[in-house]
Amino acid sequence: MAVDPGWDQIHIRDLAARCIVGLYDHERREKQDVVVNITLYGDLRQAGRSDRLEDTIDYKAIKQRVIAAVEGSSFFLVERLAEEVARVCLGDAKVRRVRVLVEKPGALRFARTVGVEIVRDAP
C-alpha cells in the first residue's frame, strides 16, 4: 500500500536500550547499548481537533513496546533488530509508515556509531 508522503509525523529520538546484538562471541555474552530513532507516520488531524489521546498515535505505549522488544531480543544483525522495531510500531493501526534508525555506538573503531535505517509501510 502506497503511503501518502504528506502524512503527519511523530518523532521518538535517541531512545536508549540494551540488548544482545552481534555476530562475535564477545557481543553475544553481554548486552550492548543501542540507540533507536523512530518516526511514526499517520493522520493526526482528528487529534489536533479533539485534543484526545484516543485520536492520535500513543507514542508512550509504542515506546514501552519497543523497549520491551529490544531489551528482550537477541539478534545477530542490527538490520534484524531494526526490522523488529518496525514490526512493533506497525502493530498500532494508526501508524501507516515507520522510519527506524538503530545505532550501535562503538561498534566500529574510530567511529562514534554505526547505524541501519529502514522504512516500512503498514500492509
The residue from 60, 63, 94, 104 that is catalytic is: 104
d(CA 75, CA 89): 18
Query: For this structure, is 31 an active site residue?
Result: no
What's residue 78's pLDDT?
96
DSSP 8-state symbol, 23: S
Percentage, residues of the chain above pLDDT 90 = 83
The residues pairing with 105 across neighbouring beta strands, listed in sequence order, are 113
**CATH of the domain spanning 8-121:** 3.30.1130.10
Nearest to 76 by CA among 116, 16, 45, 48: 116
Residue 1: pLDDT above 50? no
List all residues 6 or more positions away from 53 whose beta carbon is below 8 Å from its beta carbon: 47
> Where do the domains of the chain lie?
8-121
pTM, two decimal places: 0.92
**Tens digit of each residue's pLDDT (9 = 90 or more) over 48-73:** 999 999 999 999 999 999 999 999 99
Mean pLDDT of the chain: 93
